[in-house]
Structure 1
């Protein structure tokens, strides 16, 4: 975690120094500044004098760090960050601590950004009273956005996440559906249901509709087990890709997009792109992996030959004569996912082949 601290008085500098040491001891990166003319802080070696304007500093840090701590008045923090606040998904955590260390306030990105958790941590270190204002925390309710953030799950609709939070605060039942095994105790305010509507985890169609109007689904598919479904998407899908030498990235990108759309798979679920080592320098595949923000790995023909599939492979004599193995994309997907069941069998177009498999994943309800 990367944290920026700003203070405005000598008392604040002492507190900033203390926080800097606490973060460093826990292997978190923390830098601290004081914005004050002629500041006298000889015992605060980790606090540097800020020479640029507060506005410039805030703009710079807001885009660069995971969390910002203002040691001073809440109004200063609010006016400083106001021009840069954009989205709950991307804004950093912002905390305000008074210079005496009596109160620590979670100001921005309490759940997804982790400001609530960080506020509790800082309060414990300095003996402050934590101030948490998010409704689900005040009512002791399940917070779907915090749950997703702690597990690195993609949230497909923030408006629906807010709708779920409001429903829980109003003591309305909210459904939870998972394509993966669930461990731990499901909170009492949630009703766990089977994957009754849309597409099951094994790829078969399901007909029965759920009676709950609102809920969230932990899945890689764009299914709708509830009339109003929020999707929480874990990175579990491995794409296996094969192509002719020198295939342009656009051709590979187009088939990936088409394959995902046809199978109703979230692109945010992709965790890895895999192929044979003959393709390790294939620029088109590398570009697509970079665009998706995932690693690109390759294996030898001998390694891929050892892979087993429950449903067999779509073999090609020509591919075997060139690559030393009868199928690249399906075997690569299974090898990358560490499984023997394909999610998507070989799909081919314009000299490109794509297949997919899903890694084992377990939803842990308890932190």
Structure 2
């Protein structure tokens, strides 16, 4: 986690040093007149306004030790939305109060506020309604489960329903070890969702939810092992990925990563496809594949060419931590795909 601490007073500098002792990887910024050349401490140059603009979207958490009004005026021009903005905390220079100012849920400011307040023996100030009412916002639930959200408008409506005392039905394809507040009601059957004021389905299946009151949280537990002909373009690879997922009834939103063999680590089509999907391309060494390739059907031609007899299946298997292969192998247009589902849905 990248953390920046910004201070503008002598007292703030002292508190910043105390914080940095607990967060050694953080960067502390002080006014030039309080800068003494210590490692990990930097002068605010040329001014606070410029510095905030330069670092705002490069860190995970910003801690300001100064008045809240100063912070609001300096961060306002750089705000985008809750999915992109960093967590912002404000602390008075005596370390009495730690305020979660921005991105409390997705940005992690609320949980970080509790951590910092505990380190300093300070009072945590959290104002998000779901936290004050000791329930759980939908985006916090998704974050806890490692799920992806695509319908943010409905997410906000359901969270508003919860903080106003409403209940939400929730159906899981696979159980998670998480304790839910009373505002969420576990449902035994998927069809029970259709009898709720609002409902949430947690899973990776291709399901058309009938009704504007039902939300899908996409579990990130689908892993694709992939091999391809040299020089194949990203558009063809993406077409085959989508077709393969459709064949097994899984949503592309649940795709966690692509996995391939080390000889394909510079394959531009694969790299570009991963960039477009905004997921990692994991590289597996052939030595690792050789250790498990006996579990899968091998090709003598592939063996002679790259030293192992199979790529997509062992890559899907290894990349998913030994998950369940729901598509063993699909070959088309020079692309070979295997799909695995991680066992625990994480």
Q: How does 1:288-327 map to 2 (within 5 A)?
A: 288-291=273-276, 292-297=279-284, 299=286, 303=291, 305-307=293-295, 320-324=299-303
Q: Distance in 1 between matches of 2:141 and 2:273?
A: 30
Pair 1:216 & 2:200 matched: yes
Unaligned runs of at least 5 residues, structure 1: 198-207, 309-314
With over 3 angstroms needed to count, the CA separation of the structure-2 counterparts of 1:297 and 1:108, relative to structure 1, is same
Q: Distance in 1 between matches of 2:345 and 2:239?
A: 31
Q: Distance in 1 between matches of 2:319 and 2:233?
A: 23
Q: Secondary structure at the match of 2:134?
A: coil
**How much does 1:362 deviate?**
5.0
Q: Secondary structure at the match of 2:190?
A: coil
TM-score by length of 2: 0.84
Select 2:109's aligned residue among 103, 111, 115: 115
Over the aligned positions, Cα root-mean-square deviation in angstroms equals 3.1
1:205 aligned residue: none
Q: How does 1:77-156 map to 2 (within 5 A)?
A: 77-156=71-150
Q: How does 1:249-288 map to 2 (within 5 A)?
A: 249-260=234-245, 265-275=250-260, 279=264, 282-288=267-273
Q: How does 1:1-367 map to 2 (within 5 A)?
A: 1-24=1-24, 29-35=25-31, 39-40=33-34, 47-194=41-188, 196-197=190-191, 210-223=194-207, 227=211, 228-260=213-245, 265-275=250-260, 279=264, 282-291=267-276, 292-297=279-284, 299=286, 303=291, 305-307=293-295, 320-324=299-303, 329-330=312-313, 332-339=315-322, 341-344=324-327, 346-361=329-344
Q: Secondary structure at the match of 2:80?
A: coil
State the Cα deviation string for residues 144-194 of structure 1 (Å, max 9, x = none): 222332443322222222222111112211122222223354332211124
1:204 aligned residue: none
**How much does 1:224 deviate?**
5.0
**How much does 1:219 deviate?**
1.7
Q: Secondary structure at the match of 2:45?
A: coil
More helix by share: 2
1:200 aligned residue: none
Q: Distance in 2 between matches of 1:58 and 1:351?
A: 48
Q: Distance in 2 between matches of 1:44 and 1:278?
A: 45
With over 3 angstroms needed to count, the CA separation of the structure-2 counterparts of 1:293 and 1:332, relative to structure 1, is closer
With over 3 angstroms needed to count, the CA separation of the structure-2 counterparts of 1:331 and 1:220, relative to structure 1, is same
Q: How many residues are treated as equivalent by the alignment?
A: 338
* Bigger Cα displacement from structure 2, 332-341 vs 173-182: 332-341
Unaligned runs of at least 5 residues, structure 2: none
**How much does 1:269 deviate?**
2.5
Q: Secondary structure at the match of 1:182?
A: coil
Q: Distance in 1 between matches of 2:4 and 2:264?
A: 42
**How much does 1:43 deviate?**
11
Conservation of the 8 A alpha-carbon contact between 1:211 and 1:226: no
Conservation of the 8 A alpha-carbon contact between 1:8 and 1:71: yes
Q: Distance in 1 between matches of 2:202 and 2:327?
A: 19
* Bigger Cα displacement from structure 2, 165-174 vs 276-285: 276-285
Q: Secondary structure at the match of 1:94?
A: strand
1:202 aligned residue: none
* Bigger Cα displacement from structure 2, 98-107 vs 295-304: 295-304
